């Protein structure tokens, strides 16, 4: 069966999905073992009649797991303590499926086999560049291999997560950090411009700056306190080290130089999402940011979670985007993006075992489709593996403040502090899928 063009999950064959502009039905080889004809209204009412997939991997069925069968995020790993080359795997419960080894053992055919061969590379870039049909075929086959009742896997094709070392999932060429939360922008603006916290352009365009991809590190890597100019005639370690909880999107389909991406096509350029911590030295940032914006206050370290949740897995968690007043310019306007352009992702920040904040990504003012469209509106091209971050993901509620600067208690991070970011999608009638941890510890 040809799955080309089907944009939905592993499972696209297990959902009848009704979107604002289209309806897609896909069914695969495991139809006899997986419930079908479940109705999902993306961005609308809770699901009726959904039955959760079950895996023969017991940990994937446990309540609260980030990695049930409906998720299947990609990451790059190798066995801990080994010198073998890193390769692409898929998270399932507390295990990692070694896709390359499955391919060597003849468990894939056709498009799925072609995609599996790309998973022997030490990054996701090759797999992402193959396009949606190949990636979808691989996802369908992996779902079949891991579904309850399957007995095709052999010894050595599953590796316990605690026996694996994780790496950056992609070779990141360019990194752009947006400023897409109006609540974050307003709270920070009030600290410096109480009467007019938002700049006049905020509601007109997705504001962003270009970050430094060379200092992006995978979750668990230590974060050294940076030094820099803290003000006039003052150089030394930052005294105002902060975290920022963000969600970031990996580009899976490149765009051409000189050709803007229309908003109706923007989502097709996204491969998947991860969590991101935009570590920030506030004293350095404040002193250096005029007139060109952040530099050394930001580029010393950015942490990302090791698992990339595919857009396919996130489709059922799409929801209505925030309304704009005034309406965005026509090139940033789309009925379908307004109806389903946001994602229902709960975000949490934990500091030394204490939860500091809890919010939801659906409150962002600008969507990822609008970010892609604006980023390319002048003809700038995007490449496979580029990373677009949302900016601090804060909501309207006080408990959803996404950084210490917003909390405004006068406290900042100290040496030895451990920050853990968590994110997960959870809706009535749908399984919980998560992003895993984005963890970092401050060192002196």
Look up residue 118 and give its DSSP letter.
H
Q: CB-based contacts of 88: which residues, under 8 Å, 6+ apart?
A: 74, 75, 76, 99, 100, 118, 119, 120, 121, 123, 124, 127
DSSP string, 160-182: EGGGEEEE-SS----EEEE---H
Helix %, strand %, coil % for the chain, to 5? 25, 25, 50
Structural contact between residues 205 and 423, judged by C-beta atoms closer than 8 angstroms: no
CA 131/CA 69 separation, integer angstroms: 22
Look up residue 298 and give its DSSP letter.
T
DSSP string, 86-120: PEEEEEETTEEEEHHHHHHTT---HHHHHHHHHTT
Closest by CA position to 433, among listed 137, 19, 63: 63
Helices (H), 130-250: 132-146, 182-192
Tokens of 25: 């039905």
The answer to whether residue 184 is catalytic is yes
**Phi, psi angles (nearest 5°) of residue 246:** -140, 165
Question: What letters, b where the CB count within 10 A reaches 16 and e where it falls short, cover 336-347?
Answer: bbbbbbbbbbbb
Tokens of 321: 């985007």
Task: Say which of 136, 184, 269, 374 is annotated catalytic.
Answer: 184
Q: CB-based contacts of 301: which residues, under 8 Å, 6+ apart?
A: 215, 217, 221, 223, 224, 226, 279, 440
Closest by CA position to 161, among listed 35, 243, 303, 65: 65
Residue 391 CB-density burial (10 A; 0-12 exposed, 13-18 middle, 19+ buried):
buried
Q: Rg of the Cα trace of the chain?
A: 21
Catalytic residue IDs: 184
């Amino acid at each position: 069966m040809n799955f080309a063009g089907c944009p939905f999950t592993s499972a696209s064959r297990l959902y009848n999905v009704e979107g604002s502009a289209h309806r897609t039905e896909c069914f695969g080889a495991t139809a006899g073992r997986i419930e079908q004809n479940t109705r999902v209204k993306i961005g609308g009412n809770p699901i009726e009649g959904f039955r959760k997939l079950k895996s023969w991997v017991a940990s994937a069925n446990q309540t609260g797991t980030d990695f049930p069968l409906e998720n299947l995020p990609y990451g790059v790993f190798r066995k801990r303590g080994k010198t073998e080359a890193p390769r692409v795997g898929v998270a399932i419960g507390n295990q990692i499926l070694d896709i390359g080894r499955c391919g060597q053992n003849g468990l894939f055919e056709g498009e799925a086999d072609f995609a599996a061969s790309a998973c022997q590379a030490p990054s996701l870039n090759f797999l992402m560049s193959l396009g949606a049909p190949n990636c979808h075929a691989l996802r369908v086959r992996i779902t079949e291999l891991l579904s309850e009742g399957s007995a095709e896997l052999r010894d050595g094709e599953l590796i316990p997560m605690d026996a694996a070392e994780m790496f950056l999932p992609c070779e990141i060429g360019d990194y752009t950090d947006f400023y897409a939360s109006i609540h974050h922008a307003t709270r920070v603006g009030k600290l410096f411009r109480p009467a007019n916290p938002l700049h006049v352009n905020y509601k007109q365009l997705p504001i962003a700056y270009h970050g430094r991809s060379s200092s992006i590190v995978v979750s668990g890597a230590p974060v050294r306190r940076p030094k820099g100019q803290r003000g006039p005639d003052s150089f030394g370690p930052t005294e105002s080290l902060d975290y920022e909880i963000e969600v970031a999107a990996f580009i899976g389909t490149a765009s051409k130089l000189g050709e803007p991406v229309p908003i109706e096509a923007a989502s097709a350029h996204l491969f998947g999402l991860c969590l991101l911590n935009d570590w920030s030295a506030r004293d350095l940032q404040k002193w250096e940011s005029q007139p060109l914006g952040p530099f050394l206050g930001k580029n010393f370290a950015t942490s990302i979670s090791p698992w990339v949740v595919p857009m396919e897995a996130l489709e059922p968690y799409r929801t209505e985007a925030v309304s704009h007043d005034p309406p965005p310019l026509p090139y940033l306007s789309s009925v379908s993006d307004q109806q389903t352009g946001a994602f229902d992702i709960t975000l949490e920040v934990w500091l030394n075992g204490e939860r500091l904040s809890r919010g939801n990504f659906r409150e962002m003012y600008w969507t990822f489709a609008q970010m892609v469209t604006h980023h390319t509106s002048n003809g700038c091209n995007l490449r496979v593996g580029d990373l677009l971050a949302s900016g601090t993901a804060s909501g309207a509620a006080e408990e959803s403040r996404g950084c210490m600067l917003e909390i405004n208690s006068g406290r900042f991070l100290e040496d030895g502090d451990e920050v853990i970011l968590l994110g997960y999608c959870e809706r009535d009638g749908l399984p919980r899928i998560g992003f895993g941890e984005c963890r970092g510890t401050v060192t002196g």
